[in-house]
Structure 1
Amino acid sequence: MESQKPQSENNPAITSCRKKISEDATFLQDLRDHIDEFIHASMDEHKICFKKTIQKMLGMSKVVAERTAEAKEVESSLSLQTTVSQ
């Protein structure tokens, strides 16, 4: 476990803490495996996963903010014409 820590911390693309056991598992099998994995994880594993999740969320919010800023730079504004009737 310790040898995997530096790789995940240095990896810019943060992956999920979840280890999918089988790609062709049914939903219930996958859920059961996920619950077992959660229950049997150590406190250090929970802390690492929590940190990764927060980093991933912050990273996603930064990407959205950057995209929004880029979109605002590209936007063009049209002048409005108003007419007043008497």
Structure 2
Amino acid sequence: MTTEQTQLPSVPPPAMESCRKKKTDNATFLQDVKDHIDEFLDASMDEHKTCFKKTISKMFGMSKIVAERNAAENKGVESSLPLRTVVSD
């Protein structure tokens, strides 16, 4: 009995949406900040929890993607220095 393992090509997860909803695209910076603060204060605890979980999973997902990309780029490359066995004065 033989078992075969097939590797599926790694597909990056889809970009996650922001928890924040912009009211207007052409708002000034101060209007945007005010809207963001109002939205934060008016959000329920469940909305805060959901947004926090999304943000944390997004951060860890990105760090995993970056680590995998770096590992793939550095695969097969190894750096070594000669070993010195004699200490000179």
- Which TM-score applies when normalising by structure 1? 0.71
Equivalent residues in 2 for 1:1-86, closer than 5 Å:
12-73=14-75, 75=77
CA RMSD of aligned residues (A): 2.0
* Bigger CA radius of gyration: 2
What is the rounded CA distance, in whole Å, between the counterparts of 1:75 and 1:15 in structure 2?
A: 37
Count of aligned positions: 69
Residues 36-74 of structure 1: CA deviation (Å, up to 9, x unaligned): 000000000000000000010011101110111011026
Segments of 5+ residues of structure 2 without an aligned counterpart are: 1-12, 83-89
Q: Which structure 1 residue ranges, 4+ long, deviate > 4 Å from structure 2?
A: 74-77
More helix by share: 1
Q: Using a 3 Å threshold, how does the CA distance of structure 1 residues 18 and 76 change in structure 2: closer, same or farther?
A: same
SS of residue matched to 2:74? helix
Q: What SS class does the counterpart of residue 47 from structure 1 fall into? A: helix
Percent of pairs with identical residues: 65
Gaps of 5+ in 1: 1-10, 81-86
Deviation at 1:75, TM superposition (A): 4.3
TM-score normalised over the length of structure 2? 0.68
